[in-house]
Amino acid sequence: MDQLQLEEKVAEYNKLLKEYGHAYYVLDQPVVSDAIYDQMLHELIAIEEQHPDLIYPDSPTQRVGGEILKGFQKIEHRYPMLSLGNAFNEADLQAFDDRIRNMIGDKFSYVCELKIDGLAISLIYENGLFKTGATRGDGTTGEDITENLKTVHSIPLRLAEPISIEARGECYMPKKSFTDLNKARAERGEELFANPRNAAAGSLRQLDPKIAASRNLATFIYAVGGSGESYGLSSHSEALAYMDKLGFQTNHERQNCKTIKEVWAYIERWTEERPNLSYEIDGIVIKVDRYDQQQELGSTVKAPRWSIAYKFPAEEVVTKVLDVDLTVGRTGVVTPTAILEPVQVAGTTVQRATLHNEDIIREKDIRIGDAVIIRKAGDIIPEVKQVLFDQRPEGLEPFEMPTHCPACDSELIRLEGEVALRCRNPKCFAQIAEGMSHFVSRNAMNIDGLGERVVEQLLREKLVEDISDLYTLEFEKLIQLERMGEKSAQNLLDAIEASKTNSLERLLFGLGIRHVGAKAAKILAEEFESMDALMEASKEQLVTIFEIGDKMAESVITYFENEEVRELIERLRHLNVNLYYTGKKVNTESIESVFNGKVIVLTGKLSQLTRTEAQEKIEALGGKVTGSVSKKTDLVVAGEDAGSKLTKAEQLGIEVWNEIRLVEELAK
């Protein structure tokens, strides 16, 4: 066979094998027998081994698994992979629906989808070719599992169009694959996987891609990364149809619903039919369909306001309360946790369950020695549902919360309006340890290598007393710690040194000011630009800032009034920790624009601009775009089908523009 014939054969085999694979793995409609497919694949492998120059980047042979990896690199997501808020009953869904209607009116529809119980993934394509794949991780940064994802047949290595795009979805293990895998592991005397989700996650985190290839994983794609409008798409349902066209596998059990009653009917149907599926689901995802309405609703730091996940009722089992453990958090709150006789719940062994607070313990009358029903709230957090009083042994005493801190023995107090008991000792070991762990966490100062164990070691050995002491650690003392080698010690010192240059918002979040989360820290840092300016800010200044309310403003004022806090800031300053905002900030002083310094709300459907484009242009001209109308709003831009926000703006006497006026002003 000459070179030309060889090239033609390789091209033909690539084309046919991809068509056969798509029909089998994505469409579930095989067009040839397994024997024919395998024979053709083995022939192609043999040719490629002899002629490596003929290997296509999207050849089906690339799915069998290549070299063993040395480890997983970190990948920062182009757009955050947010989690979803949860609903557990019809009332929760009605409240969600009410919030949507209050914000955008009644002219919208939902898309309901099965919530696949797997591992969230991000797939990046450039010019139609699969480039990288990553786990969700913490939502901002995931792990590069590209080589393992290449072995999943329902993930196309080349798209039907030469487009650059990000696809997001769920990688899962079908029930049959899970059963076969555990059967094989049992025969080899290996530990069994608890459930298909754990098996899928474990398979994707194998350093040997050949192991991942043998696990028969599958995917459902459920979203386009970033703005779908940039691809000419106007809704989520349009995006799913487009992903089908590109060659992805989406779940076709989805349904458009106009009302929350239709959503509930969909949920009831799949609650019944759930056992008949060939894969595991743990709930239903509900999304507002239109992209412009999604953008109008916006997101919190953690979750979009336009979507919610209904979680199926949790599996309930009976076990015994052996003891109650008390832990002290970074804000001094004492949290009780039930220690249980080990029991299997939703595929995992549970030995601890949250008791929340003293009021819950009294309300449910939970006592050490009781038989109790436990469940996993949202299939995640174990909790005690109720006590089986008919099984209570005689003589069990009611459980009493302590009067003094279990960590430092200081007196506990209960603040007015709160249910929690709180330790107010600023030198409490447990609080310092929790606070320091928060300070070094990924969304705060991001000091890699400082886990809870190392933090506790540093405190016990009195190498640190507060967060400022982290910046005085010495190599010679670090290597004396248990399990701390020279390389680990140096890496830790390098990470601590690098954290000094973080922008102000990371430090603010890391300080753990009550009610100030990551988003609020960013807003405060952008507004005041320096720690000194923020420390001297008045409540009047704070409450005028977009999204900073009375409660948060009072918390910030109270925090910085503390003399110990001010001394801590001074120590950080002398240790060269950055106290300034170094992110991008619009220089509004030099901008001559009608938008400069204005708080603006976009509502309704825009036809000439996407909502994202409009927001970016307004903010580049010094404006601030928010999702809700209030007395602080200066201007509302109303597109087609503008609803309740337009009505509220008119009631408050706020200036209203149409899109034509917006475009004209942006062009000036």
Domains of the chain: 3-62 (1.10.287.610), 85-311 (3.30.470.30), 323-341+348-414 (2.40.50.140), 429-500 (1.10.150.20), 504-575 (1.10.150.20), 599-667 (3.40.50.10190)
Full-model pTM? 0.60
Which residues is 75 bridged to in the sheet?
Answer: 142
pLDDT digits (tens, 9 = 90+) for 537-565: 998 888 877 678 888 899 999 999 989 89
Highest mean pLDDT (candidates 307-321, 466-480, 637-651): 466-480
Alpha-carbon gap, residue 112 to 308, rounded angstroms: 10
Question: Tell me, what's the pLDDT at 28?
Answer: 61
Question: Tell me, what's the pLDDT at 241?
Answer: 96
> 379 pLDDT exceeds 60?
no
Q: Give residue 61's Cα distance to chain centre.
A: 34
Backbone angles phi, psi at 439, to 5 degrees: -60, -40
State the binding site.
34-38, 83-84, 113, 136, 170, 287, 311, 405, 408, 423, 428
Alpha-carbon gap, residue 8 to 164, rounded angstroms: 28
Which residues is 284 bridged to in the sheet?
Answer: 114, 310
> 203 pLDDT exceeds 80?
yes
Query: If 0-12 CB within 10 Å is exposed, 13-18 middle and 19+ buried, where does residue 638 land?
Result: buried
Question: Tell me, what's the pLDDT at 451?
Answer: 87
State the binding site for NAD(+).
34-38, 83-84, 113, 136, 170, 287, 311
The confidence band for 346, taking pLDDT boundaries of 50, 70 and 90, is: low
**Catalytic annotation, residues:** 115
The average confidence (pLDDT) of the chain is: 87
Here the tokens at position 522 are 């960013």
Here the tokens at position 198 are 């754990």
Q: How far is CA 94 from CA 99, 308, 379, 417, in A?
A: 9, 11, 21, 28
- Where do we find the tokens 């290996």? 190
Residues 6 or more apart whose Cβ sits within 8 Å of residue 507? 444, 445, 531, 572, 577, 578, 579
- Rounded average pLDDT over 461-487: 92
- Rounded average pLDDT over 20-48: 73
Question: Tell me, what's the pLDDT at 64?
Answer: 58
pLDDT digits (tens, 9 = 90+) for 48-84: 778 777 777 777 776 655 555 567 888 888 888 888 8
- Rounded average pLDDT over 455-482: 92
Q: How far is CA 211 from CA 18, 64, 216, 557, in A?
A: 22, 9, 10, 55
Q: What is the 3-state secondary structure (H, E, C) of 548-586?
A: CCHHHHHHHHHHHHCHHHHHHHHHHHHCCCCCECCCCCC
Secondary-structure percent of the chain, ordered helix, strand, coil, rounded to 5: 40, 20, 40
Nearest alpha carbon to residue 72 among 135, 141, 143, 130: 143
Question: Tell me, what's the pLDDT at 1?
Answer: 65
* Strand arrangement of the beta sheet that strand 255-257 belongs to: 85-87, 307-311, 281-288, 110-116, 255-257
> 270 pLDDT exceeds 80?
yes
Nearest alpha carbon to residue 240 among 264, 220, 266: 220
Round to the nearest angstrom and report the end-to-end CA distance of the chain. Answer: 67
Query: If 0-12 CB within 10 Å is exposed, 13-18 middle and 19+ buried, where does residue 566 land?
Result: exposed
Helices (H) and strands (E) in the chain, counts: 24, 22
pLDDT digits (tens, 9 = 90+) for 151-172: 999 999 999 999 999 999 999 9
pLDDT digits (tens, 9 = 90+) for 109-121: 999 999 999 999 9
- Rounded average pLDDT over 91-113: 93
**Contact predicate 384/373, CB 8 Å:** yes
The confidence band for 248, taking pLDDT boundaries of 50, 70 and 90, is: very high
Highest mean pLDDT (candidates 36-50, 503-517, 627-641): 503-517
State the binding site for Zn(2+).
405, 408, 423, 428
Alpha-carbon gap, residue 146 to 137, rounded angstroms: 14
Question: Tell me, what's the pLDDT at 574?
Answer: 96
